[in-house]
Each structure stands twice: as C-alpha cells, then as structure tokens.
C-alpha cells in the first residue's frame, strides 16, 4: 500500500487555501491594487489577456515576448516578497522599462554586428513592451519639471545631480527617460 501524501510530508491545499499555481503575481498584484487605485491589477490583467490572445492567434513571437515579461514580473514579485513588499503598477512599469532598455541595447549591438534578423526580432519585442508603458513626457515637459525641481529645491552645481534626478523621477512617475532627465539636469546644473 502506498503511503499517503500527508505521511510523505506533502502539503495539500485545503479548501480555504487555493492551489499553489493560482497564487501567482496576479494574486499579489490584486492584493496590492487598493494601494495603487486598482491600476496594478488592470496592467497585470492586460498582460495575461494579451498572452491568451497570442496563444489563440498562434502568434509565437508575441507569445514568447509576453512570457518573458511574465517571468520578469514574477522574479520581481519574489524579490519584493522577500523584502516584505508586493508587486504594484509602479513595479511592473519599472520591470518593463528595464526590459525596454535591454532591448534597445541589444538592437544597437545587433546592428553593429550586422545581424538584421535579430534586430527585427528585438524590435518586435520592443514595440510590444512599449505598448504597456504609460505615454512618455516630451523633452519640453521633462525640461520644465527639471527647471521647477532645481528652482524649488534651490540646487546648483554638479553635486546636486542625484537630488535632481531623484526628485524629477518621483514627479514624472516613470514617464521620463532617465537619460533625457540626466542630460537636461547636467545642462541646467552646469556652471555658467
């Protein structure tokens, strides 16, 4: 007679405890949704819905990109859980921005290496990832925020660069490119 699951030390889900596979990042994001005004759940739900659509359409390139995004979000959820946090809309956007930056770097490398086939693949993934990001601010809008932060905090000189970057990125909520903010802050803080 085979030993029971309990005698082997296997934890079986109880009716009050959902199975492990249903406790993924979506459940964590949904739990964090009240803090984020419900936006986190909708972004994660949109990603999951797009994955289902890609499966139904048998669009393998799109499906692979979305699965990679899901894996990155899941990894971030694990990191946050260990630190006592949860995945929210801001965290998902940070993950997507990181992946976008990786794709842009890869495209530059592949172009330099003459690998147009890989450039096209990365470009498709980049377009998909960018579709999940909020609309980016224009350079003029970012410049206005940089000028306002410098004036409000009464900052000057290159040593204030970190303070300006931190304040601007907090105000723009991930809708400004770090490089653009850095270049503008450097120009505005430079001695005249």
CATH code 1.10.10 region(s) in the chain: 139-189
Neighbours of 102 (CB within 10 A): 15
Residue spans of alpha helices (H) in 83-177: 89-112, 116-130, 139-153, 161-172
- Choices 2.60.120.260, 3.60.120.10, 2.70.70.10, 1.10.1510.10: CATH for 22-130: 1.10.1510.10
Q: What is the pLDDT of residue 192?
A: 66
Q: What is the pLDDT of residue 35?
A: 42
Q: What is the pLDDT of residue 188?
A: 83
Q: What is the pLDDT of residue 71?
A: 94
Q: What is the pLDDT of residue 4?
A: 53
- Choices 2.30.29, 1.10.3470, 3.40.50, 1.10.10: CATH for 139-189: 1.10.10
The overall pTM is greater than 0.75: no
Tokens for 3? 């030993």
Q: List the chain residues with pLDDT less than 70.
A: 1-41, 192
Sign of the dihedral through C-alpha 25, 27, 32, 37? positive
Q: What is the pLDDT of residues 30-76, one digit of tens each?
A: 444 444 444 445 788 899 999 999 999 999 999 999 999 999 999 99
Q: What is the pLDDT of residue 2?
A: 54
CATH code 1.10.1510.10 region(s) in the chain: 22-130
| Closest by CA position to 125, among listed 96, 146, 149, 147 | 96
Q: 136: number of CA atoms within 13 Å, CB side?
A: 13
Q: What is the pLDDT of residue 19?
A: 46
């Amino acid at each position: 007679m085979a030993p029971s699951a309990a005698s082997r030390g296997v934890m079986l889900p109880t009716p009050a405890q959902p199975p492990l596979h249903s406790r993924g990042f979506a459940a964590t994001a949904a739990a964090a949704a009240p803090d984020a005004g419900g936006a986190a759940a909708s972004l994660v739900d949109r990603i999951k819905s797009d994955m289902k659509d890609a499966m139904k359409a048998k669009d393998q390139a799109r499906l692979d990109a979305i699965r990679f995004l899901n894996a990155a979000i899941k990894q971030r959820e694990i990191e946050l859980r260990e630190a006592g946090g949860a995945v929210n809309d801001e965290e998902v956007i940070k993950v997507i921005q990181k992946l976008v930056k990786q794709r842009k770097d890869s495209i530059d490398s592949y172009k330099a290496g003459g690998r147009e086939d890989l450039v096209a693949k990365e470009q498709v993934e980049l377009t998909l990832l960018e579709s999940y990001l909020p609309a980016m601010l224009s350079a003029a809008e970012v410049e206005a925020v940089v000028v306002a932060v410098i004036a409000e905090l009464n900052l000057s000189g290159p040593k204030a660069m970190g303070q300006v970057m931190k304040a601007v990125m907090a105000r723009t909520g991930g809708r400004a490119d770090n490089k653009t903010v850095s270049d503008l802050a450097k120009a505005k803080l430079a001695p005249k």
